[in-house]
Structure 1
């Protein structure tokens, strides 16, 4: 059984700051922050969130929290269980393999298009992100490694200039990212991933779509193989 995740792990901002934005309602902003925490691997399979505790931390009612988690549950990122609790689904090897097979196809496509469409500004941002990732990985700063690694990957996918495709990838990551935390629970520095990220950046800079696709396919499949092993 997963633990009740502390609100410090989620790192939500205070509700008074949330209310400053007139463009989004409160539940949307709560959802966005929980979504980013999932993508960063801050939750593991079986971890649970207390709706009432989360609402108390935000200084709001349970309603916007429930609305946010209900939408994430519809994307199979959480399960709502009795007792005002949301739980990350337990690890299922068969489901994980299926999701990874899909990710190979769609993330490979995104990388391929990114190699064709990335601007100089995109590449400069990715280079900075890669430098930060490599430093964090070499220092075994696991939480930072996961967070910056996610930034790098989605920076690559955003450079594809295919926002609908990026949304599909994000939906897949919401379901897979908790398992990334399992990987880091049994591993430390991943030098192979460092090399593959560098090769991916080089492929984008060289505008080589074939190499970019192959790099991402290798990243997804090798990561899945190590986790399953």
Structure 2
């Protein structure tokens, strides 16, 4: 269980137990740490993070408003499953927004960042070789958001995060269903190679191609 907090936390948000828990849960959702249809227990989350029920309840309700969770009835909160059409829409929106946010991040990406992206990609390759879907999902999230956060966008980045909240659980289900072979041919190496060359257009095209791979799993 990761406790990493998103780097896009609003500087003006109060630093409370509920906001910290909300951001930690957001990362886990993006990384596919929850599965579609999973029932969310406020009591269990509070116990996992060592808080009372109130911050956990507030964090979960916040995720409901963001579309990451939903009420299946008056007493049960679940991770929603995206149908084929909605999942395709999420990927379409990701392709357009993430290509643009990558374009904005390009000038801020240093050689040190490229080296870090390569290290993350090596861990992803190891996860694929070992058919470790959860480690792959975590690495994929880290790879993409290492880039996106360098855009410093206060408009596009929150929108991309919302899309990943909806995308993460369903993508993990798809990867689990089809196996590691379905994700073996990602475009991360093309991304880092384009960055090393200083080729912005090839970099953005590689980002778009990586997202399109998810669409191919639905065809």
User: What is the TM-score of this pair, normalised by structure 1?
Assistant: 0.82
* Distance in 1 between residues matched to 2:212 and 2:67, nearest whole Å: 22
* Distance in 2 between residues matched to 1:192 and 1:163, nearest whole Å: 32
2:26 pairs with 1:35? yes
2:70 pairs with 1:70? no
Task: Compute the displacement of 1:153 (Å).
Answer: 0.9
Aligned to 1:79: 70
* SS in structure 2 at match of 1:49: coil
8 Å contact kept, 2:149–2:157: yes
* Distance in 2 between residues matched to 1:141 and 1:110, nearest whole Å: 29
Out of 116, 122, 129, the residue aligned to residue 125 of structure 1 is 116
**Unpaired segments of 5 or more residues in structure 1?**
1-9, 14-22
User: What is the TM-score of this pair, normalised by structure 2?
Assistant: 0.85
Task: Compute the displacement of 1:11 (Å).
Answer: 5.7
- Paired residue total: 208
8 Å contact kept, 1:40–1:150: yes
Task: Compute the displacement of 1:150 (Å).
Answer: 0.9
Task: Compute the displacement of 1:50 (Å).
Answer: 1.3
Shifted more, 134-143 versus 67-76: the winner is 134-143
* Distance in 2 between residues matched to 1:32 and 1:83, nearest whole Å: 25
CA RMSD in angstroms, aligned pairs only: 2.1
* Distance in 2 between residues matched to 1:129 and 1:164, nearest whole Å: 26
2:184 pairs with 1:191? yes
1:147-226 matches, cutoff 5 A: 147-186=138-177, 187-189=179-181, 190-193=183-186, 196-226=187-217
1:15-26 matches, cutoff 5 A: 24-26=15-17
* Distance in 2 between residues matched to 1:159 and 1:67, nearest whole Å: 29
* Distance in 1 between residues matched to 2:130 and 2:78, nearest whole Å: 32
8 Å contact kept, 2:133–2:172: no
Task: Compute the displacement of 1:41 (Å).
Answer: 0.6
Q: Mark the CA change 1:161 to 1:54 in structure 2 (over 3 Å): closer, same or farther.
A: closer
* SS in structure 2 at match of 1:159: helix
**Unpaired segments of 5 or more residues in structure 2?**
5-13
